[in-house]
A and B are shown apart, each in its own frame.
Chain A
Amino acid sequence: MPLDSSFIGRTYPAAEVYEVGREKIREFAEAIGDANAIYRDPAAARRAGHADVVAPPTFPIVITARIGEQVIFDPELGLDYARVVHGAQRFVVTRPVRAGDRLIGVLTVDNIQSVAGNDLISTRTDISTENGEPVVTAYATLVARGASGESNQ
């Protein structure tokens, strides 16, 4: 069943502010296995010109995924989550996310299309501080594999 293309252009604001903590950044850096001191040590971060420890470049997915759940699990869209795989991901950074940031994101459904029996949904999430300073934009493409498709991603 094709997805409801009337969702194109819809926006979903974050339900609440995401406050970035030093220990959360450390936990994420350890989970991706990146030992860089700038994620952990405020003095090392300052030497590199940052106000506090910075988050790994893919960390914003933690924020965008929460907002994205509103779309993925919207029953009106009709997405079967068991068939969803991540097709593509892109981050465009205005400035790195750092500890102490209070961030909000707004997700926009950029496109919905059907390609070779699969449904593709493309979203853009603009993340800024609660004061409106742009921080990072995350673009994601999710693929809902068609019922007859046997390919795995």
Chain B
Amino acid sequence: MAEAAAAEAAPDYDSLIEGTELPESRTRIRRVDLIRYCGASGDFNVIHWNERAARAVGLPDVIAHGMLTMARALRIVTEWVGDPGAVAEYAVRFSRPVIVPDDDDGAELLVTARVAKKLPDHQVRIDLTARTGSDDAGWDKVLSMARAVVSLPR
């Protein structure tokens, strides 16, 4: 994982153009990431670490916490804006779980985003798309209506 840039270089509101794409983000979610998120968040629901329990409730395998997917997806925004404190609003719908197999690769999360609208008061709305899958097998959307509102410096 690359170190995020420091907050110095936030995008400039006035010169920003609606439709601008943010740099794409590809990360992996492995079983160890789910265990770590269990500990950090306090959400130890068995479907996030025990495949026997996951299958018993009809899931194909262990799934990532929706909140981990939501947090991972937002990195595309926090790395672009620099200061995570600039995020004024963030909303998602969880459309499909990220299935995390018990292997070294885990699941790949592909996130794209674009500047959807310039709002008053130096705010912009960023629309995000988060998918899981692979270039070979295709990609499935895991979040829908994923939107962040970010306050840019004056």
A and B: partners?
yes
Please state if A88 and B93 are interface contacts (CB–CB under 8 Å).
yes
B113 within 8 A of partner (CB): no
Contact with B along A70-106 (1 / 0, CB 8 A): 0000000000001101111111110110000000000
Residues of A within 8 A of B75 (CB): 32-34
Residues of A within 8 A of B93 (CB): 87-88
Please state if B37 and A31 are interface contacts (CB–CB under 8 Å).
yes
Considering only CB atoms, which chain A residue lies closest to B95 in the complex?
A: A153
Please state if B59 and A33 are interface contacts (CB–CB under 8 Å).
no
120-142 of chain A: CB within 8 A of chain B: 139
Please state if B36 and A30 are interface contacts (CB–CB under 8 Å).
yes
Cα separation A28 to B83 with both chains bound (whole Å):
17
Please state if A91 and B94 are interface contacts (CB–CB under 8 Å).
no
Interface of B toward A, CB cutoff 8 Å: 1-4, 6-8, 27, 33, 36-37, 39-43, 57-59, 66-68, 70-72, 74-75, 78-79, 82-85, 87-97, 145
14 contacts between A and B (CB under 8 A): A31-B39, A32-B71, A33-B72, A38-B83, A47-B8, A48-B7, A54-B85, A57-B78, A58-B67, A82-B57, A85-B97, A87-B93, A95-B85, A153-B96
Please state if A57 and B91 are interface contacts (CB–CB under 8 Å).
no
Interface size class of A (residues with CB under 8 A): 35 or more
Given A35-B1, A35-B3, A87-B93: A61 in contact with B41 (beta carbons within 8 A): yes
Interface of A toward B, CB cutoff 8 Å: 27-28, 30-39, 44, 47-50, 54, 56-58, 61-62, 65-66, 82-83, 85-93, 95-96, 139, 150, 152-153
Residues of A within 8 A of B94 (CB): 85-89, 153
Partner of B40, one of A28, A82, A85: A28
Please state if B40 and A27 are interface contacts (CB–CB under 8 Å).
yes
Partner of A31, one of B36, B83, B145: B36
Residues of B within 8 A of A35 (CB): 1-4
Partner of B85, one of A48, A61, A85, A89: A48
What 9 pairs between A and B have smallest CB-CB spacing?
A31-B40, A90-B91, A32-B71, A96-B85, A86-B66, A48-B7, A57-B87, A58-B71, A36-B4
Residues of B within 8 A of A87 (CB): 93-94
Residues of A within 8 A of B85 (CB): 38, 48-50, 54, 95-96
